[in-house]
Structure 1
Amino acid sequence: MDGDQGLIARHRGLQASLLLAGPLAWLVVAYLGSLAVLFIAAFWSLDDFSGQVVHTYGLDNFRTIFEGRVYREIVLRTVGVAAAVTVTDAILAFPIAFFMAKFATPRTRALLAVAVLMPLWASYLVKVYAWRTILNEDGILNWALAPLGIHGPGYGLVATWLVFSYLWLPYMILPLYAGLERIPASLLDASEDLGGKPGMTFRRVVLPLALPALVAGSIFTFSLTLGDYITPQLVSSKQFIGNVVYANVGVANNLPLAAAFATVPVVVMLLYLLAARRLGAFEEL
């Protein structure tokens, strides 16, 4: 009987593998194939006279990026805003996720989960344009701050940081909630019984156990900010990596330079993912 059950299990495993073969093959062809074409195009060049792409290989595009001060500033600006958004969302998401995981009743937890997920049902552009209206000189933010003698940030890097933090906050709350829910309540009780104050319990018990979930959420917030170009275009005049890639693909018609510059966030995310993997973040995804 045990042999028959093992044979049936292996047969079902083979069927599952065959069912997954098609989607995996499509993933390899469509996703990894497009990345391969991107990296190949990064080594091509653009003919100065005809404006046509020349399929000869060289490092001129990467040399332009690394030697150009403007491109370096854009990379640092993009990475800096992505890091700021990630830290902001982590600070905002932690108390919300902790309350949902440890204090909320099942009914309240369900309502909070709906409240967190509801912004994801709205259109991305609608949310960005709503923030554009809020941050406008005649918007509701300046109207509300006027009695206090305070002026809103207007359009710029601060506005970009605010909008990104709002857009990606649910992507930080959900992994954190899942990670905090797995922490046994007995560990928190044991810390309290041993004389640990709330602050010490948070630093020595909660935070180390929730760190993989925190890093998992940061993967979403950091990577989504790193590759976005619509929000900076609508609420700021500052250039981000995505804006430069978009401009070179469209207006400038310089596909090789766009492909070379697009490899920068790919490399940054690969390094980030390697660090996240060492912290066990993939277990929380």
Structure 2
Amino acid sequence: MTVDASAPPTRRAVLPPQRGSIARRGSVFLSRHPRVRLSLLLGAPLFWLGLVYIAALAALLITALWTVDSFTGQISHTWTLDNIVAVLTGSLYQTVTLRTVGVALLVTIIDIVIALPIAFYMAKVASPRAQRILVIAILMPLWASYLVKAYAWRSVLSQGGIFEWLVAPFGGHSPGYGLPATIITLSYLWLPYVILPIYAGLERVPDSLLEASADLGGGTWSTLRLVVLPMIWPAIIAGSIFSFSLSLGDYITVNIVGGANQMLGNLVYSNVGAANNLPLAAAIALIPILIIFAYLAAVRRTGALNNL
């Protein structure tokens, strides 16, 4: 075979670099390392949430260590524990703290007692169409204004209101303006936040377990107590966290239907607004934060949050 020397040399074909090769390699790397993928996905929002939340808590703690000049009313950046000591040792703050925790616990218990049968009916008894209607009915109050609902309950529970008109034939009377009205109103406001987690927990309970319990001779209450309740306990805890924490920090509803300085939130608001004592308000605000942290720690120790 002869080769023509005069012919130009053959050029080797050079392919252009493939577009997206870097993105393709990155995609392959992320597909092989799911933890890295999850870290990149959640890193930015968690960093932003942590930055804002931790910075807010740090600012709150630092502000609680300042004082207010009694002559000028200006904040003095001299660090002291006087505000925290006054909050921890003052009889007023101890009384209001106990009242706030009691109201939050009572509201939580009331909401759980009401939510359990409603959620069970939605998850296990109602038809799919009725379930959708009930879910919409539970969510509809959340679409209304918070203030409108609070003032509506003030009108309902006031002297001569609808509630008194309903119970008057039976010798009852309206709770009027005070702590009972606060408990009723808060229970209504946070009830959807308790129903929905319990409803979601009950939907995960297999119907076969209920049938198996009935086949083995288990009654209704035995099945609910021994089969259903242990499985939905994490959902109940989740709902209680919502109602307890929201009731613990509420002050608007308390002002509307219960009166001033009834709960910790009112003391914080009055010291920020009327008294212009931001350091003392920050020291008072640390109490509900510590309470909810203690509640979450106690719940976590029970293991109820492991299956959420």
Q: Same fold (TM over 0.5)?
A: yes
**Aligned with residue 255 of structure 1, among 278, 282, 286:** 278
How far apart are 1:17 and its partner, in Å?
A: 4.4
Q: 2:30 touches 2:36 (CA, 8 Å); kept in 1?
A: no
Any idea what the Cα deviations from partners look like across 1:55-78, whole Å, max 9, x if unmatched? 122211111112211110100000
Give the Cα–Cα distance (whole angstroms) in 1 for the partners of residues 66 and 258 of structure 2: 32
SS at the partner of 1:58? Answer: coil
Structure 1 residues 19 and 212: CA distance shift in structure 2, 3 A = closer
Call closer, same or farther: CA 1:193–1:64 in 2, change over 3 Å: same
Residue type of the partner of 2:223? T
Provide the C-alpha distance between the structure 2 equivalents of 1:13 and 1:223, rounded to a whole number of angstroms: 32
1:180 match: 202
Give the structure 2 partner of residue 149 of structure 1. 171
2:222 aligns with: 200
Give the number of the structure whose residues are more often helix, by fraction. 1
**CA positional deviation for 1:204:** 1.1
Seen in structure 2, the aligned counterparts of structure 1 residues 230 and 4 have a Cα distance that, compared at 3 Å, is closer
In the alignment, which of 46, 57, 68 is matched to residue 24 of structure 1? 46
Query: Quick one: percent identity of the two aligned structures?
Result: 55
Query: Higher mean Cα deviation, 199-208 or 12-21?
Result: 12-21
Question: In 1, Cα distance between the equivalents of 2:107 and 2:232?
Answer: 19
Distance in 1 (alpha carbons) for counterparts of 2:158 and 2:26: 70
Shift in Å, 1:162: 0.2
In structure 1, distance between residues paired with 2:36 and 2:135: 37
Answer whether contact 1:100 1:177 (CA < 8 A) is retained: yes
- 1:210 corresponds to 2:223: no
Aligned with 2:298 (options 265, 275, 278): 275
Q: Distance in 1 between matches of 2:274 and 2:132?
A: 47
Shift of 1:154: 0.7
Residue among 238, 261, 265 paired with 2:288? 265
Q: CA RMSD in A?
A: 2.1
> Could you report, residue by residue, the CA deviation over 1:188-232 in whole angstroms, capped at 9, with x for unpaired residues?
122212211111111111111111110100000000000000011
In structure 1, C-alpha distance between the alignment counterparts of 2:30 and 2:222, rounded to whole Å = 52
Q: Which TM-score applies when normalising by structure 1? A: 0.92
Pairs within 5 Å for 1:94-109: 94-109=116-131
Instruction: Report the Cα offset of residue 19 of structure 1.
Output: 5.4
Correspondence 1:232 to 2:260: no
Conserved 8 A contact 2:66-2:78? yes
| 8 Å Cα contact 2:30-2:37 kept in structure 1 | no
d(CA) in 2 for partners of 1:4, 1:169: 46
How many positions carry a matched residue from both structures? 283
Q: Partner letter of residue 250 of structure 1?
A: G
1:54-113 Cα distance to aligned partner (Å, 9 max, x none) = 112221111111221111010000000000000000000000111111111111111111
Q: Counterparts of 1:19 and 1:217 in 2: how far apart (Å)?
A: 27
Amino acid at match of 1:100: M
> 2: CA distance between counterparts of 1:205 and 1:186?
11
- Deviation, 1:116, is 0.8
Gaps of 5+ in 2: 1-24
Which region of structure 1 is more displaced relative to structure 2, 220-229 or 267-276?
267-276
Of stretches 187-196 and 112-121 in structure 1, the one that deviates more from structure 2 is 187-196
TM-score (norm 2): 0.86
Give the partner amino acid of 1:245: V
